[in-house]
Amino acid sequence: MTKQTWLITGCSSGFGELFVRQLTAQGDQVVATGRNAETRLAHLKETGAAILDLDVTAPQAEIEKKFKEAWDIYGTIDVLVNNAGYIQCGAMEEITQEELQRSFDTMVHGPINLTRAALPYFRERGSGWLLYMNSQSGFVGEPGATAYCASKFAIEGAVESLSKELAWLAPGIKPLIIESGIHGTEIMANLQHVTPRVPFWQPLNDAARTRGRGNYENPAGDAADMISKVIQIVKGTGVGAGREIPLRIPFGSDCLSEMREKIKQLQKTYDEWESVAISTDYEEGKRPMPRLPGVE
């Protein structure tokens, strides 16, 4: 099996920690990152991973310096794993702009800035993996999860655009979105709940707390097994052997079920509204010719 070098964000627990432990056990080189890394990632030093302090919400210039620092540790990076994240709960009316911005800084701007930092290195080499640890919440909206779903939807759209750019001009660089259902990690134990501001939404906030506890205590999926399979996909072994890897791969029966139900509802809407949708098209032969700006 080919050994690789991985840069992983959000390694203090959950998926990030599992990546570090499984990859180093296989002999791969890992740069494990997180905020306040010397203390929050101290438990990973025994794995042999390089530990690097990295706040994904830092400005672009600082992110680029950190990526170069990570690259220089081993002289390469083969796989960038954008994993850092958290769940901010609360209805849209109660979520403040600042709370929404923090979610976007962590789960949209952070991964995009790191991607920008990685691309010059990957383009020069002609290869590299860009992993985005996402969620079913990037495709299916959830009540009481405005900030989380909005950020997860946003990164899905950005990476889909990136995938088409790369397919055109840099096909050796592979983006991959992992859409995860509920797996057994600490993220559900560390939900951030909005400060109650509108009494009307208190039942929703109470339900979010109850659901979060239930998901933490009785997750649908095995997180370690999922990460093992994600690694296999990148390496082209196990479940990834001989397969063409798509842009998105879902994990968890709960995720798959919700996505299929939404697709079914979308298809129903498209079928029922097709005649209205196409009614605004120009008639054949009457479509105006496109003009360049400033050209008559």
Domain presence at residue 270: no
Domain presence at residue 272: no
Entry pTM = 0.93
Confidence of residue 130 (pLDDT cuts 50, 70, 90): very high
Q: For residue range 135-157, list pLDDT tens digits in order.
A: 999 999 999 999 999 999 999 99
Domain presence at residue 42: yes
The predicted pLDDT at position 247 comes to 98
Domain presence at residue 111: yes
- Provide the CATH number for the domain around residue 152: 3.40.50.720
Asked if 195 contacts 207 with a C-beta cutoff of 8 angstroms, the reply is no
Which of the following is catalytic: 86, 121, 148, 282? 148
Domain presence at residue 94: yes
Domain presence at residue 271: no
Q: For residue range 153-175, list pLDDT tens digits in order.
A: 999 999 999 999 999 999 999 99
First vs last C-alpha separation in the chain: 60
Alpha-carbon 262 to chain mean position: 20
Q: Residue 118 above 70 pLDDT?
A: yes
Number of domains in the chain: 1
The predicted pLDDT at position 218 comes to 72
Confidence of residue 289 (pLDDT cuts 50, 70, 90): confident
Domain presence at residue 295: no
Residues spanned by the domain of 160: 5-253
For the chain, the average pLDDT equals 94
74 is catalytic: no
Domain presence at residue 280: no
Q: Residue 296 above 60 pLDDT?
A: no
Please say whether the dihedral angle defined by the alpha carbons of residues 144, 146, 149 and 151, taken in this order, is positive or negative: negative
* The pair of three-digit structure tokens given for residue 57, joined into one six-digit string: 């919400």
